[in-house]
Structure 1
Amino acid sequence: MRVEQQPGYILHARPYRETSLLLDVFCRDHGRVGLVARGVRRERSRIPRGVLQPMQPLLLDWVSRGELGTLVAADVASAPFALAGDRLLAAMYLNELVLRLCARNDAHPLAFGAYAQCLDRLAGMDPPGWTLRRFERELLSDLGYALVLDRDASGHALAPQQDYAYDPEAGARVAAGDSRLPPVSGAALLAFGTDVMPDSAQQLQLRRLMRSVIRHHLGGELNAWTWGRSVLPASPGSG
């Protein structure tokens, strides 16, 4: 199968043999794809290695005959997203999240659109913590793990002043003091469901909630969570 001019982003690259790279790529119509970029580590390469960078919108051509495809061409689609500091760390977290949650060769065009929008927001003025929460919500929804954010596990409307514990398999339940799940207010859940940025305390609750939900679906931890510096900013103004 030959694929041409496919919009995509490099999620991760690592050396392969003496002159090549193994790429994990997130594409609009093919999802997460593994590609071999042959010879790109040579001084003179048909595909410039500098093009194959994360946060760079690309148009990719490849030939696939098995689990791994062979990259044929990579064209710059637009300027790279200019990210630094916590916003760059947030984008690195974004890439790891897609790598870990998305199966190979499983198309998720809605998640792809949300990914591109998230990078655009990180490159702009949007608060990075809230930007990541929104992407996490959209990614989980497109993968079939949508959160129910307007009613509890019994089907009753959420009460803004009530604290809940969110079970990834069942939904929100009234929080008990001994719950293993982090508490989150009904007001925070309702704001999240209507895409209204909550206050900083509620954003911290949502951060803990989403970490708990993602951990459940991964069956483990993300490397980004162990970095010395947080890539999941909690407050609207944090970088």
Structure 2
Amino acid sequence: MHPVRYDAEPAYVLHARPWRETSLLLELLTEHHGRVGVVARGVQGPKRHVLRAALQPLQHIRFDGVQRGELAQLRAAEAIDAAPRLSGDAGLAGFYVSELALRLAPREDPHAGLYDLYGQVRERLREGAPLAWTLRRFERDLLDAIGFGLDLSQEDGGAPVDPAARYRVDPEHGPRRVLSERIDAAHRGQTATGRALLALAGDRMPDSDDLQGLRRVMRNLLAHHLGGRGLKSWELMGELGRIAGPARPQSAAPTGTDDSVS
């Protein structure tokens, strides 16, 4: 197997965890090679704080390395810019988008636009954009980038989505109308309005109630593609009872018990 060399390769740090006494195991989303696992040796020492700071999640870096097996060996790295300083719900959202990209993007299989997509959502989080809408857009575009996108403006079968109807979204076939006589509390909790689906398809932020419906149907879609194992961020958001309304500023204290940030 010929080694793969990374020379000044731009990347975002999705995940970092300690390994042995002085090293880190990293997952990077690179511009040209997709997701790459990397070992960064000797970065936990007292004189390596600048390098260690450049290898934290959400950080945008440029790195050198060589890969001969499953993991690349880091040779050098530097920060391209300062990572967003996120707290509260925005911090949870940053953890969520990184975990979702980590779980859905296969290693060493670049997808056109995924690197740019992560950069876009990172800047929206930095700017304090409405969290729930920011995450719905990222989920939609991530599924598109890895080949699982759906046309949310058309029903399964080709008819236009009806704004006044309710739909569940099949992971393979797209929106399927739920008959009005079957919309009880259980069905309502797994559906979204046609108006909400059309808004997402047209990249127009819907109202708060429709955002709730989009959260539910997008979570169902993502759970299907994630297989039997959910996300740590979903568990954390559920335990904390976080809320992220469509226009609440980052600095506002969480209220209520809804976890629409996820």
Provide TM-score, normalisation by structure 1: 0.93
Shift of 1:237: 2.7
Deviates more, 1:56-65 or 1:172-181: 172-181
Partner of 1:185: 193
Q: SS of the counterpart of 1:23?
A: strand
* CA-to-aligned-CA distance 1:3-34 (integer Å, 9 cap, x gap): 11111111111122221111111111111110
Number of residue equivalences: 239
Partner of 2:209: 201
- Distance in 2 (CA, whole Å) between partners of 1:232 and 1:96 is 19
2:89/2:242 contact within 8 Å kept: yes
Partner of 2:163: 160
Partner of 2:258: none
TM alignment of 1:97-108, pairs within 5 A? 97-108=100-111
Partner of 1:15: 18
Partner of 2:231: 222
Does residue 128 of structure 1 match 2:131? yes
Q: SS of the counterpart of 1:48?
A: helix
What is the letter of the counterpart of residue 200 of structure 1? S
* CA-to-aligned-CA distance 1:89-147 (integer Å, 9 cap, x gap): 10001111011111111112412111111010111131011001101111100110002
In structure 2, stretches of 5+ residues that fail to align are 251-262
TM alignment of 1:140-159, pairs within 5 A? 140-159=143-162
The 3 A distance-change label for structure 1 pair 148 and 158 is same
Partner of 2:90: 87
Which residue, 228, 243, 246 being the options, matches 1:235?
246
Shift of 1:84: 1.5
- Distance in 1 (CA, whole Å) between partners of 2:92 and 2:74 is 27
Identity, % of aligned positions: 43
Q: SS of the counterpart of 1:149?
A: coil
In structure 1, stretches of 5+ residues that fail to align are none
1:90/1:232 contact within 8 Å kept: no
Provide TM-score, normalisation by structure 2: 0.86
- Distance in 2 (CA, whole Å) between partners of 1:238 and 1:201 is 18
1:204/1:234 contact within 8 Å kept: no
